[in-house]
Amino acid sequence: MDKSEVMKELEAYGDERTKNTLIKHGAKEPFFGVKVADLKKILKKTKKNHELSLELYATGNSDAMYLAGLMADETQITETQLEAWVDQAYWYYLSEYTVPWVASETPYGFELGLKWIESDLERVADAGWATLSGYASIHADIDLDIDMYRKLLKRVGETIHISQNRVRFAMNSFVIAVGSYIESLTDEALEVGAKIGKVDVTLGSTACKVPLATEYVNKVITRGSVGKKRKTPRG
């Protein structure tokens, strides 16, 4: 499939109800409102496709950009291309999912995450924390910089409540990720989660809620799933 064929399929799958829901969450025109399940139907046809993913992301159409993240080839996408992607990630579906999913699977994902969290741009810092979370979820602990993750946990505990809106959400998710995927830091993540408590994030006119980090991690502990890595952060 080429870009024009994919765009036609996206338009055909467009759903007004889904579109209205996504608008409430922050999506902007132009886009069609395609359900993730339908995006995955297209993905079955395209498979991973580096060049096509770049073309789709460049359209500025949120559906196409999200699909680009699903089909991106982490072995081919460059650091420069990911920097361009994060600059265009105008709402959280892109900054917390699409870009971090791909970045965390690349050899430079950890370094990009560390760089991005220092940005004054909310969407970039947001992507940085999400990238570091995704990186922890798929890499063996022996390949992680545990000391740096420990320092980042401490930083979250000290700064989350004075950080930007979506950055607060991503930081809270980072505590959950560290507690869930890095067994040696689970207790420290719980301590930080208890310290930060309820995190207030403005989520617009949606029914979404910010999970309590301690509750989430304790559920993972109860399931006996602490330290169990994912094959991919993409969903």
3-state SS, one letter per residue, for 152-197: HHHHHHHHHHHCCHHHHHHHHHHHHHHHHHCHHHHHHHHHHHHHHC
Token pair 């991106």: residue: 72
CA distances from 178 to 30, 40, 43, 46, 164 (A): 36, 28, 30, 33, 21
**CATH number for the domain running over 79-235:** 1.25.10
- The confidence band for 74, taking pLDDT boundaries of 50, 70 and 90, is very high
On average, the pLDDT of the chain sits at: 97
- The confidence band for 205, taking pLDDT boundaries of 50, 70 and 90, is confident
Q: Average of pLDDT values for 22-29? A: 95
Q: How many C-beta atoms lie closer than 10 Å to residue 184's C-beta?
A: 13
Q: Domain limits of the chain?
A: 1-73, 79-235
Q: What pLDDT was estimated at residue 198?
A: 97
pLDDT at residue 235 is higher than 90: no
